[in-house]
Chain A
Amino acid sequence: MSNNYTKEDSGYTMTTVAEEAARCLLCHDAPCTKACPAGTDPARFIRSVRFRNIKGAAETIRENNALGAICARVCPTEKYCELACSRSGIDVPIDIGGIQRYVTDFEQQAGMKILEKGKSNGLKIAIVGSGPAGLQSATTLLEKGYAVDIYEKNTKPGGYLTYGIPEYRLPQNIVDYEIKRITDLGATLHLNTAIGSDITMDQLKADYDSVILAVGASEAKMLPMFDDQANVETAVDFLARVKDAKGEVTEPDNVVVVGGGDVAMDVSTTLKRLGVKHVTDMVYEEFAEFRASKKELAGTQKAGVTIVDGYVPESMTGNEVTFKHRKIDAEMKIKADKVILAIGQQVNTDGLGITTKRGEVPFIGYQTQDPKVYVTGDIAHGDKTVVWAVRKGKEVAEEIDKTLMGGRQND
């Protein structure tokens, strides 16, 4: 069973990637490139593939996106580059994510080292959180000549790359490889170290020239009716547990999932891949207003999950949960061996000296009221995706550099 959980779909071969790249129209002022939040420049790397320069393609991706191999796999491309693709005017968009995966796999197999550390400028930055935003800001800062320490409260780095996104979509060895690239570049990781408790913010501010908070929304939301219920687990706890065990876990036969976003889709599909017989996903939204991406939803449906739309949980007694329809007079009772809650994640700012509203700091940009402290990633304004975390990671590093170095080149 775990085999199915750890198995990633196969990617392109040299021949099939060339065929896909040949479909690309090689647009002028390419819409795909303009639509990539992280500036990965798909039009340029696809053109390199088209002209058989895979190494050049890898350079384009890597220099623009420190997590290129991860974005290749988890980007909701349908909302970004592929949504803008001119080829849609003919048939279907170019499979930009697939091409990017081919190129970054090649980069890994060829052992290419593309990123270079900048000449030291003597300045030191602390980054709190080793998720994608923390990792990208570390990379950009290292390239500019800063020394970087990353503090992570968990035992493994990567944030939701490691503890959230399931193995079949994002193999852990890819995450490890991307992180190693960044530690090789010079980032120092301090694991099992929570800022705000193990080390105070004041201490960090005293020791570093700037501090970046990239703490993400690392805690699950709960509903009071499920508090203190046995057999209830949160989505992120569940996903982290399964990923950590590489799918070697035992789950009961009948599981109900509550939630309709991508996280709920990941939970439901993971359950199916683990061999759970009956997986029922109860979704607040109706299909027309679904939040999950089409790709994720399709994957979930293909996996054989029963999806019921428009229902809200009302109460739980014993192992029976009662749901009510949001709009019509309808009620459903389900007896389940287990309930998994995928109703969202929230930020924990304890001891960090910032406040957030609905998962974000209440301002646009990166610098907080304390000029030494910056935010980035999910807690900064903007989309809550990996590729946006990369963008915000690049931007926060640029902003720090402007503040500390006044935009001067360090050479």
Chain B
Amino acid sequence: MINKDLGIDFLGVHFENPFCLSSSPVDNCYEMCAKAFDEGWGGVVFKTIGPEHFKIDEVSPRFDELTKEGTPFVGFKNMEQIAEHPLQENLDDLTKLKKNYPNKIVIASIMGTNEDDWVELARLVTEAGADMIEMNLSCPQMTSHAMGSDVGTNPALVKKYCAAVKRGSDLPMMAKMTPNITDMVPAAKAAMDGGADGIATINTVKSVANLDLDKKVALPIVNGKSSISGFSGKAVKPIALRFIQQLRVAAGMEQLPISGIGGIETWEDAVEFILLGSTTLQVTTAVMQYGYRIVEDMKNGLMHYMEEQGVDHLSDLVGIANKNILPAEDLDRDYKVYPKIDWDKCIGCGRCFISCFDGAHQAITWDEKTRRPSVDYSKCVGCQLCNLVCPVGAISTGKIEMKPGRQGNVEDIDIESVRLTH
């Protein structure tokens, strides 16, 4: 079996691998974190610890899932707030974890209602022996508006509370950001100005995932009613990647240390987060669905990827895709690429024909007898929708052509991708 060093340094702390449990029910107590460490996770961000005076009172049921065809958990909606266990029990768990797993990284997630809370919580978790602090500025379903994403969308408060944490502790600290905001850069800048050492993102996206059509109420139904609350899982990955990309290209933030979160469940997801600038990775929903064991394939797959890429240090991959992501106005619009249909692979389903007619440019003709499609080059715009819908990969990218009157050499044009060229 392949074995490569997945070690990486983040905010001055060494992680044996970048995979961490994000703060949530998956790391709610000592036993859970211990099992996760035993199964190979590099770190845990312990379930968010709040101040003694803020009483947590949860609803039941508290989850919902978005499905598609036979696929469960396309996205996941939750109504949970922060840790329910008593403060002292949580602190004792942190101490015991660090004692029994000295080489694993224990990160304390905290959330206060005012400056004093933040200072005090930072002090307490530092005394308990945590390696790092994460500030939860982003839970979208807190019962107090002085907490969670209502704070995270207010840069002035973000800066003030970050400074407070820094007064209570000298541990490295990351601020966890909410995606329920048009532009994350001002909030992230405010966090850094307040003293944060890095950013963790994203927390869940405010959502209504499904409605009960008879009762006319969103799910989950909490004694007849429901609330907007946080959405996570695979469906939010594109949103998370977008925020991370934008943070890393904002002026002055090109080296921003990021812990990436949002819909990670395979090694490929993990690589995407790393290539856009995440140094460590955090996971919840996929663990809730499949258990801690998923880390095995994420680690092993990442090792194989590094091997294929000839990379020995994970840090060499961090953020290197950002240079290839440009504003839409800067892309090359001088050519188009036609689809190429392989009639030997084609099984005659006609999906390309339907999609090109109903969703593109009526550029595929259909032979009723042989059940084979052909491309009409005079109509094709090169969108490659047909390519994406073909269930057997019979359509790939074919001839490239410069648009009339445009300069350029078709040989130099690069559109190759595993997904489109098969």
Residues of A within 8 A of B (CB): 15-16, 18-22, 25-29, 31, 50, 86-87, 89-90
Contacts and interface: CB of A to CB of B under 8 A. Distances in A.
Contacts of B69: 18-19, 21-22, 50
Interface size range of chain B in the complex? 10 to 19
A25 B349 contact: yes
A89 B71 contact: no
Contacts of B368: 29
Nearest to B350: A28
B392 A90 contact: yes
B392 A89 contact: yes
A375 B139 CA distance: 73
A26 B350 CA distance: 9
A27 B70 contact: no
A15 B350 CA distance: 27
Contacts of B347: 25, 86-87, 89-90
Contacts of B349: 25-28, 86
A63 to B, nearest CB: 24
A15 B371 CA distance: 32
B225 interface: no
Interface in B314-363: 347-351, 353-354
B212 to A, nearest CB: 14
Which applies to chain B's interface (DSSP): helix, strand, loop or mixed?
loop
Contacts of B371: 29, 31
30 contacts: A15-B70, A15-B72, A16-B70, A21-B69, A22-B69, A22-B70, A25-B347, A25-B351, A25-B391, A26-B349, A26-B351, A27-B348, A27-B349, A27-B350, A27-B351, A28-B349, A28-B351, A28-B353, A29-B350, A29-B366, A29-B371, A31-B348, A31-B371, A50-B69, A86-B347, A87-B347, A89-B347, A89-B348, A90-B347, A90-B391
Which of B72, B347, B353, B368 counts the most chain A CB atoms within 10 A?
A: B347
Contact of A19 (B70, B350, B392): B70
A16 B69 CA distance: 10
Contacts of B354: 28
Interface of B: 69-72, 347-351, 353-354, 366, 368, 371, 391-392
Contacts of B391: 25, 90
A34 to B, nearest CB: 11
Contacts, number: 46
A18 B350 contact: no
B254 to A, nearest CB: 43
A118 to B, nearest CB: 33
Given A86-B347, A90-B391, A28 B70 contact: no
Contacts of B392: 89-90
A20 B69 CA distance: 9
A21 B71 CA distance: 11
Those 8 A-B pairs whose CB atoms lie nearest each other, nearest first: A28-B350, A89-B347, A19-B70, A22-B69, A18-B70, A25-B349, A22-B70, A27-B349
Which of B347, B349, B351 counts the most chain A CB atoms within 10 A?
A: B349
A374 B298 CA distance: 69
Contacts of A25: 347, 349, 351, 391
A19 B392 CA distance: 18
Contact of A21 (B70, B72, B351): B70
Nearest to A49: B69
Given A21-B69, A27-B349, 6 more contacts: A19-B70, A25-B391, A26-B349, A27-B351, A28-B350, A50-B69
A86 B346 CA distance: 10
Contacts of A19: 69-70
Contacts of B350: 27-29
B17 to A, nearest CB: 33
Contacts of A90: 347, 391-392
A26 B347 CA distance: 12
B355 to A, nearest CB: 10
A28 B71 contact: no
Contacts of B72: 15
A87 B347 CA distance: 8
A19 B354 CA distance: 23
Given A25-B391, A29-B368, A86 B70 contact: no
A98 to B, nearest CB: 14
Contacts of B71: 22
Nearest to B355: A28
Contacts of B70: 15-16, 18-22
A146 to B, nearest CB: 36
A17 B371 CA distance: 28
Nearest to A26: B351
Nearest to B72: A15
Contacts of A31: 348, 371
Contacts of A89: 347-348, 392
Nearest to B348: A86
Nearest to A51: B69
A92 to B, nearest CB: 13
B203 to A, nearest CB: 30
Nearest to B70: A19
Contacts of A16: 70
Contacts of A29: 350, 366, 368, 371
A103 B299 CA distance: 43
A26 B354 CA distance: 10
Contacts of B353: 28
A28 B364 CA distance: 13
Nearest to A89: B347
A22 B68 CA distance: 9
A316 to B, nearest CB: 53
A19 B70 CA distance: 4
